[in-house]
Structure 1
Amino acid sequence: MGTDMNINKRVAVNEFSKSEAGKLLAEVFFRELQFISGETLLDKLIVHNHGMNRRVLSQDVLDTQTEDLPGTSKVQIVLHLARNGIYHQLPEFLFHPISLSSPGMTNNEIVAAMRANRKKEEKTIKFFQPFDTAFFKDGVSIFKRSLDLFNSPYANRILQNVSSLFYSKATPLTQGEKYRLFLFLCQAEDLKENLSALENVLYTVLCMQVSLKYKSHNIKEPPYGTLGTCRLGLNSGLSGSFASELDDVEAKLCFKKNIESEKVLKEKMDAVRFILSFFIVSARHIDIIYTVKSNTEFVLGTNFLGYDTNL
């Protein structure tokens, strides 16, 4: 039964390496290979780097082989990669003579020298295989960490630390709301002053409906002195109210049920102001109003005005 299982896994590995998955990055390919086999293969992995040349630049994984370890029932997986290993990075003269031929050598002697040089190259590459394999395993672990970064974003310490760089400690948002807002901050330039898009941002972050619109900002108390106390061209101006060049933003919170307490309402208002502060010009004033869409009917004579009665 164990032999049949090994045969099935070998066939699966062979078919997988010959499929379109063979064109993936080696680290991604190996992760998918582990998923197909249903087990962790790091302890069975051997990496064989063949060096880079123009023929293999378009593909990272050249081949995958399964080999039986002599005298044991264990199997090792050899991953042939079109990458430079430690041997390929080191100077060639450390392992091979500068010139294979010398004056007076016959053709047979030159061919024999080339074969010996080739065997020495294979032997040296095999010597560095454990080190190349260790480096590749580290690369797989690093790549796994980057791929799993967003699997549990609310509990990921890296994302928490990164998102905390944009927020103060007194942020009126939960950890989940911070993370969702952090994703939108990457598109801040496109979302800036775009009220329709910001409504979607608020709904995604706070999970509540918010309507946004511009409203005129009227200045009723002008910052000018009264007649006789000001100087022309310095601090004098027209009296009376006037409209500012910059409009305000009105945010209307839509609650689907009765508000539990004033504290909840204040927290929602603070959260909306905080989120809009990243996308709205700071000179704009943000007015917040709210409405409740739930049924607030009451029976006349059984309720108390100002206590459990909503007009």
Structure 2
Amino acid sequence: MRAVVTGGAGFIGSNLVDALLEEGHEVVAIDNLSTGRRSNLAGALARGARLVELDICDRQALLEAFEEARPEVVFHLAAQIDVRKSTADPAYDARVNVEGTINVLEAARATGARRVVNSSTGGAIYGEGQILPAPENHPVAPEAPYGQSKFAAEGYCELFRRLHGLSTISLRYGNVYGPRQDPLGEAGVIAIFCGRLVAGERPTVYGDGHQTRDYVYVGDVVEANLLAANCEATGAFNIGTGVETSVLELIKALAPHAHAPFEPEYAPPRLGEVRHIALDSSRAARELGWQARTTLAEGLEKTLSAVKAAA
């Protein structure tokens, strides 16, 4: 199979590139390297993957890259994912997440791709969890422009399916974590906490720490992408564990691994962040044959080992 992975040098994207190569597929990663890292693809490039450095907002350059790659399947992970940045500059967020997705869909259609697997978000689309764990038909009530832009992107995936017959599916992730997530970045509290722990620093908690998320390991998310590529299912699918874990519970789980006191420092809550969310992934189990396999304890250990190795 010939595959294109947009955002392929990023955290999830690079893990997906590795898995595709492992299965013997031909892979082109597309990334503007604004948050992705060439180093994430070092092993993949040595094994024959290609990296094309461009921005998905550059429609012509994207089309030319697709014309050269001629992908059968497109995994669309390139995105603006920072909730705070989306609140500060919603127009930029929409340019990347909506217009960029349209460009990817257009390029996929123009070059004859058979399938587009779109990466979306569970918690940010549903907003505050009214039903927990939240099913796919949960009311859509984003608390930040990021969730709104990702929901709009899903709508365009469905539109291209109806209008052009392009086979699309959107995977709504929980809070993905694991190796290669940037411990110095703005997204990914587990990676940030692991970075603080390794540095002998205390974790910062925004609000009271009782806010909950559904933490899903990157290896399980990669498996969901591979399953989604090889089926005919369409629409939105939750990809999560169904389990709520609070920020303070994360700190408690990591504390035994610390060599210095790992007590939280508190800061004011952040605008646009939901209080409680977890995802009901029973549809993914039924139609994709997917379920989360990695426990939080296992995932934390793998993530912490990776952060230590990179330190």
Which category of TM-score, normalised to the shorter sequence, fits these structures? under 0.3
Greater relative contact order (Cα < 8 A, sep 6+): 2
**Higher Cα radius of gyration:** 1
Give the alignment's TM-score, normalised by structure 1. 0.19
